[in-house]
Amino acid sequence: MLIYEKEWANQRSRFLSYTVENLNWHLHFHAAFEICLILKGIVEITIDNAMYTLKKGEAVIIFPRQLHAYKTIEGSDIRMITFIPELVPEFTKNYQKKIPADNTIRGLLEYETLFDANNIFLQKGLLYAVLGRLVSDTDFKEAQADEDAVLLDKALRYIEENYNADCTLRSASKKLSYSYSYLSRSFKRLMGMSFTEYLNRFRINRAVYLLRTESGIPVSQIAQLCGFESLCNFNRNFKLITGTTPRKMLADI
């Protein structure tokens, strides 16, 4: 299990391009565009209600606020390129309320020399080339801003902002002005898991990131930073979700 946090750790970054190994990441969304190119292996990428099984050389683009998840099927390397909508203002102006009928990008490898573009003009050249090809290859449809999407947006944002504090379904329902039972049922229906299960997965993913990037922080402190009140509860959830223990993961790094 490898954490995918580079964009989250750099919320103000306009253009990020990097490679991720063996990516597995739960259903989530963010405000940036995301281009994913498979360099090795096989990866299942869920985007809204569609699933794409991609192999070497194949790619998709994920639009802002599209729910998506990653599952590595066969040892993988993925080139990720994330960029904010403001970097492509002409496209954003015309397509800000639309999503592609098919998120597949064809011929992305043609632009490989621009993947690590180090100035805004080359970056925009890459992005407009990719988006231009997408417009030619697929139709677009109106993004649905229905009640479910609004609720999920609020709930996921609440977890992201409060996961390291007193984050419970009850506190979320009070803050978001939904009834406890309605939020519980709706979240499980939309996410395929309970609020608490998603929260624990989010916290453990954050813990894995800290274990891999912040050497020297005691496991007990990482547990506290990720919102777990007891080390026992942290260790139990860590083993359940990752299949290993925090100390063994540290030893294997």
Contact 175, 158 (CB under 8 A): yes
CATH number of the 8-142 domain: 2.60.120.10
Considering the chain, what is the average pLDDT of its residues?
Answer: 89
Q: pLDDT (tens digit, 9 = 90+) per residue, 115-142?
A: 999 999 999 999 999 999 999 999 999 8
Confidence of residue 205 (pLDDT cuts 50, 70, 90): confident
Q: pLDDT (tens digit, 9 = 90+) per residue, 87-106?
A: 999 999 999 889 999 999 99
CA angle (73 as vertex; 152, 23 as ends), nearest 5: 55
Q: Please give the sequence-ordered ranges of beta strands (E in DSSP) within the chain, or none if there are none.
A: 15-21, 25-28, 33-47, 50-55, 59-62, 68-83, 98-100, 104-105, 140-142
For residue 35, pLDDT beyond 60: yes
Confidence of residue 198 (pLDDT cuts 50, 70, 90): very high
Q: Give the CATH H-level superfamily of domain 147-252.
A: Homeodomain-like (1.10.10.60)
Domain ranges of the chain: 8-142, 147-252
User: 68-72, 107-111, 213-217, 221-225: which range is least confident on average?
Assistant: 213-217
Residue 104: predicted pLDDT: 98
**Cα dist. 107→59, 74, 111, 118, 201 in Å?**
9, 22, 8, 22, 35
Whole-structure pTM over 0.85, yes or no?
no
Does residue 65 sit in helix, strand or coil? coil
Nearest to 45 by CA among 18, 67, 15: 67
- Determine if residue 84 is left, alpha or beta; phi over 0 gives left, psi from -120 to 50 gives alpha, anything else beta: beta
Helix axes 180-191, 169-176, angle to 10 degrees: 110
